[in-house]
Amino acid sequence: MRRVLVFCGSSPGRLPAYVEAATALGDELAAQGLGLVYGGARVGMMGAVADAVLAAGGEVVGVIPRMLEEKEVAHTGLTDLRVVETMHQRKALMESLADGVIALPGGFGTLEELFEIVTWAQLGIHTKPVGLLNVAAYWSRLLAFIDHMVAERFLRPEQRDALLVGYTPAEVLTLMRDYQPQPLDKWLDRSQT
């Protein structure tokens, strides 16, 4: 891996552990010589992870839609800030610039980005590792729901297993480095349709 795409909140969240984890992830990315690709904002967890990578001398590529840049949330100290017109362009460009993806805690935007990227993997659009950094058990209820999706036969166990879960930045990055994509058939019970 050369660069990791990080999805996370533009808010710092309720617990100090969230921003601490964003900073720790930025530190670990830089320590491992990995660049950061992210949404380009200077606020919340997004700003914290970018600032940590920059402080350690690492590369940070931000991708932000013009509408958000114009609201003055763009981080102006990045290695490379790319301004696009739409949220769709933002996600496609970020994915193309990265070799793996990690989601930290966040809101609707983070969930939407995460589920789009795992859907692309499910459909074979990419074979990049996708990980969750499960800070303060933030993702545990979502993971339980995903397990429910498997139990209800809307998701295959292999598809669930492709979502890597770590509890520290080093652990999730190790899981991603060791990840071997498996060819998967998205559809369950296709013969019954």
User: pLDDT tens, position by position, for the chain (193 residues)?
Assistant: 999 999 999 999 999 999 999 999 999 999 999 999 999 999 999 999 999 999 999 999 999 999 998 887 999 999 999 999 999 999 999 999 999 999 999 999 999 999 999 999 988 899 999 999 999 999 999 999 999 999 999 999 988 998 999 999 999 999 999 999 887 665 555 554 4
CA distance 90 to 124: 20
Domain ranges of the chain: 3-175
CA distance 106 to 10: 7
Residue 118: Cβ within 10 Å count: 19
Question: Is the domain 3-175 a CATH 3.40.50.450 member?
Answer: yes
Q: By the 8 A CB rule, do 9 and 45 touch?
A: yes
Q: By the 8 A CB rule, do 53 and 83 touch?
A: no
The H or E element spanning position 6 is: strand 3-7
134, two tokens: 């499960």
pTM for this structure? 0.94
